[in-house]
Amino acid sequence: MAGNKEFVNRRLHSLLGVIPVGLFLVQHLVVNHFATRGAEAFNKAAHFMEMLPFRYALEIFIIFLPLLYHAIYGVYIAFTAKNNVTNYGYLRNWLFLLQRVTGIVTFIFIAWHVWETRIAAAFGQEVNYDMMASILSSPIMLIFYLVGVLSTIFHFSNGLWSFAVSWGITVTPRSQQISTYVTLAIFLALSIVGVRAIFAFV
């Protein structure tokens, strides 16, 4: 019974990491990338997201609750996982370890980012280009955001590999090898979007 419960929890954890949390990450990166077109373009994109109907219900049930479950159970997985990179230095073993490490880094980064933006907005601050430019004007915060964004993107991209395995999409060793290269390509593509967006605020 305990084994079945853990199986279901891991499948749910994997699913929520892609849908809806992963999709929200991609959407968030796209909105932030509007900053490369200037402050006005970013503010319009951010304002559009703020004006979506049922915004608070969407944030709670589509973003925050799935994210909270994925994060809490992910921390449990990270601290109970048995890493064997010292014995087997294969690429997938290193990616397995990095998935756990970036999970913790991402958890810290997202918690801080939500505090600086969504919580601040609840107290009356406007989430706009000037807010992000002010945050990233600090070299320490710039480095923190670069590490946090790249960590988050890697965790999502590499997590797609685990998702495909868990849900029986990639069964054969060949398909899993191809999936490794595809997910690394996704990581590189989204990293370009994320890093360009960060430097657009600097």
Residue by residue, DSSP assigns 112-137 as HHHIIIIIHHHTT---SHHHHHHHTT
Instruction: Provide the pLDDT confidence category of residue 128 given band limits of 50, 70 and 90.
Output: very high
Q: How big is the chain, counted in residues?
A: 202
Model pLDDT for residues 49-77, shown as the tens digit of each residue: 888 888 889 889 999 999 999 999 999 98
Q: What does the pLDDT read at residue 146?
A: 98
Q: What does the pLDDT read at residue 79?
A: 86
Domain range for residue 54?
Answer: 2-200
Q: What does the pLDDT read at residue 115?
A: 94
Neighbours of 162 (CB within 10 A): 20
> Is 60 exceeded by the pLDDT of residue 163?
yes
What does residue 70 show for φ and ψ, rounded to 5 degrees? -60, -40
Model pLDDT for residues 104-126, shown as the tens digit of each residue: 999 999 999 999 998 988 888 89
Q: How many domains are contained in the chain?
A: 1
Residue 53, SS3 per DSSP? coil
> Is 70 exceeded by the pLDDT of residue 169?
yes
The CATH number for 69's domain is 1.20.1300.10
Query: H or E segment at 182?
Result: helix 173-200
Burial status of residue 139 (CB atoms within 10 A of its CB: 0-12, 13-18, 19 or more): exposed
Of all residues in the chain, the percent with pLDDT exceeding 70 is 95
Spell out the residues 6+ positions from residue 155 whose beta carbon is closer than 8 angstroms to its own: 99, 102, 103, 106
What 79-84 contacts at long range (C-beta under 8 Å, 24+ apart), as own/partner pairs, is: none
